[in-house]
Amino acid sequence: MAGHTDNQILIAAPMHLVWDMTNDIRSWPDLFSEYASTEVLSERDGTILFRLALHPDENGTTWSWVSARTPDPATRTVRAHRVETGPFKYMWIYWEYVPTDDGVLMRWVQDFEMKPGAPVDDAAMQERLDRQSPIQQKLIKEKVEAAAAKVG
């Protein structure tokens, strides 16, 4: 059995600002509360290869992995996947940005499967992602909307 999550939030800001801020991987430690650092490893043919590191967990362990992210400005979508999968057999992420009269609907769809022997199973990871994604999306919403208010 594989895991699947689908979370979205409406951000009251112009598309270009939402797109630019959420696709600036170098700024993700300021945009997300869960990331301690990012390191862009390469940028080639529209795909960004980068390392993400979380803040240390309750045991002092810092988890990190390499992902590949391919934004498509024409369709306002992003396809990403973990290159270093860690406890996952695979992790695919789809971001979608839909313009509305009230701003931009930002949607994250995550499909994954945990490896046998991983610290959690698919259901537990799905529950964790469904709990954490809305928290991160709310933070992003607040930061992007604050930036939009400054621009004016």
Task: Find the angle CA(7)-CA(79)-CA(48) to the nearest 5 degrees.
Answer: 125
105-123 pLDDT, tens digit each: 999 999 999 999 998 999 9
Residue 88 has pLDDT above 90, yes or no: yes
- Report d(CA 149, CA 151) in Å as an integer: 5
Share of the chain above pLDDT 90, in %: 91
Give the closest residue to 70 by CA, choosing from 88, 99, 92, 101: 92
Beta carbons within 10 angstroms of residue 60's beta carbon: 6
pLDDT of residue 96: 98
Mean pLDDT of 15-23: 98
pLDDT of residue 59: 87
Whole-number mean pLDDT of the chain?
A: 96
pLDDT of residue 1: 67
CATH topology of domain 3-151: Alpha-D-Glucose-1,6-Bisphosphate; Chain A, domain 4 (3.30.530)
Question: Is residue 19 within 8 Å of 143, Cβ to Cβ?
Answer: no
Residue 69 has pLDDT above 80, yes or no: yes
Based on C-alpha coordinates, what's the Rg of the chain? 16
Mean pLDDT of 124-139: 97
Domain ranges within the chain, ordered by starting residue: 3-151
Report DSSP letters for 54-94, one per residue.
EPP-TTSPPPEEEEEEEEETTTTEEEEEESS-TTEEEEEEE
| Token duo for residue 99 | 């313009």
21-62 pLDDT, tens digit each: 999 999 999 999 999 999 999 999 999 999 999 999 888 888
| Token duo for residue 134 | 């809305």
| Token duo for residue 42 | 């390469």
71-80 pLDDT, tens digit each: 999 999 999 9
pTM for the model stands at 0.94
